[in-house]
Amino acid sequence: MKIVILRNNLKNALDAVSHTLGDASNLPILKNILIKAVGGKIQICSTDLETAVVRGVAGKIIDEGSVTVPFSVFNSVIGNIQNERIDLDSKKMGVLIKTDNYEAVIQGMNPEDFPIIPKVDKKDEFFEINGEILRESLNQVVGAAQISELRPEISGILFDVEPGMIKFAATDSFRLAEKTVYETEFKNNFERGMKFIVPLKPIQEFLRIMDGKTPVRIYAVNGQLMIENGDLELISRLIEGQFPDYNPIIPKNLTTEISLDKNELIGALKLASAFTSKNNEVRLKITKDSKVVEVYSSDSLLGENKYLIPAKISGEPVEVVFNWRFLLDGLRNLESDSANIGLQGDIRPSVIKTTADASFFYIIMPIKS
């Protein structure tokens, strides 16, 4: 392999693949990246055997081929080179890095030993969505997911794809977030629906490296996911199992409804957090005929805190305890300055949403006092 590449292009590619290196204790080559120049394309690849990232790079191919090099050393050298033009030339099990005034040889490993990057063979079923819409949608739900060894089916994001809409959902069993994207905002080439669960880590990684200005095309075939975003490919296994049916817990018979300023409640929660115990408990108090919500927290060693927020309130008086961090996460994901909180007493699920955006809701379980 012999190629000529610009330093900034190579640095951007290295950043894209930097978080999907594997554990070298059992397979040392996982700490390496694969650089290949095949079929007129230059690609940088990394994998941890669960997720793989392939990033295309613009450059000139003199001789096709491939090479693997340790990421840490290669990245350090490229990051400190001052010249813009870099020549890379494979030498036995390594690579020669050359500029006008610099030369280095980095020892690598046999590229044939690099793990095979899975390919999604069947490309006739996909959906395509604007990158920025996908980024915003995933960011609204990803915080509600949590990796669970006991319940792997909730360790990722549910993609519930229908011809007319896509629902993204995530839960850690204490809260749940759902975002809906409607048919005017994406396109697909299939008539039937499909559901699949994408592990949390590849979603987080994709959000880190994606190009929001470029359309995203997503395939899910035979237990594998492939996301195409310009010159970037992310490949991951899908989570086996069935995502919990959360429709029965969506609040339908609200006993108390509150409408207030989202940012004022966020500020109240931040103040309350200084007086909470390790359980992060904060109380919302609504008294009969009240026009304010009292946000209260206390700790026997620290003291107590009370904040009154003007609100439109209908329904029964109630005092309910929440984890303030979970409540804050739901509020931050509302794309509006107002928040509607629907309660079903002090022990049943509550819902957070806004009239300005019917496509998103957030369900949170109260803490039993």
Mean pLDDT of the 358-367 span = 96
pLDDT in tens, 128-187: 999 999 999 999 999 999 999 889 999 999 999 998 899 999 999 999 999 999 988 999
* Angle ∠(222,226,229) on CA atoms, nearest 5: 160
The answer to whether residue 82 scores a pLDDT higher than 80 is yes
C-alpha–C-alpha distance, residues 132 and 181, integer Å: 12
Tokens of 333: 């994901």
Domain boundary among 237, 259, 292: 237
Domain span at 138: 127-237
Q: Is the pTM of this model over 0.85?
A: yes
> How many CA atoms within 13 Å lie on the side-chain side of 186?
25
Q: Are residues 173 and 232 in the same domain?
A: yes
Q: Are residues 229 and 260 in the same domain?
A: no
> What's the pLDDT score for residue 122?
61
Domain assignment present for residue 320? The answer is: yes
Q: Are residues 69 and 92 in the same domain?
A: yes
C-alpha–C-alpha distance, residues 17 and 34, integer Å: 10
pLDDT in tens, 89-131: 998 889 999 999 999 999 999 999 999 988 876 667 889 999 9
> What's the pLDDT score for residue 118?
83
Residue whose C-alpha is closest to residue 307's, from 320, 294, 298: 294
Domain boundary among 206, 237, 268: 237
Query: For position 331, which CATH number holds?
Result: 3.10.150.10
Residue whose C-alpha is closest to residue 66's, from 9, 3, 8: 3
The answer to whether residue 64 scores a pLDDT higher than 70 is yes
> What's the pLDDT score for residue 176?
98
> What's the pLDDT score for residue 369?
67
C-alpha–C-alpha distance, residues 35 and 42, integer Å: 7
Q: Are residues 206 and 101 in the same domain?
A: no
C-alpha–C-alpha distance, residues 57 and 124, integer Å: 26
A 10 A CB-CB count for 91 gives 13
Tokens of 60: 């000139």
pLDDT in tens, 266-282: 999 999 999 988 789 99
Residue 73, phi then psi, degrees to nearest 5: -70, -45
Mean pLDDT of the 284-296 span = 94
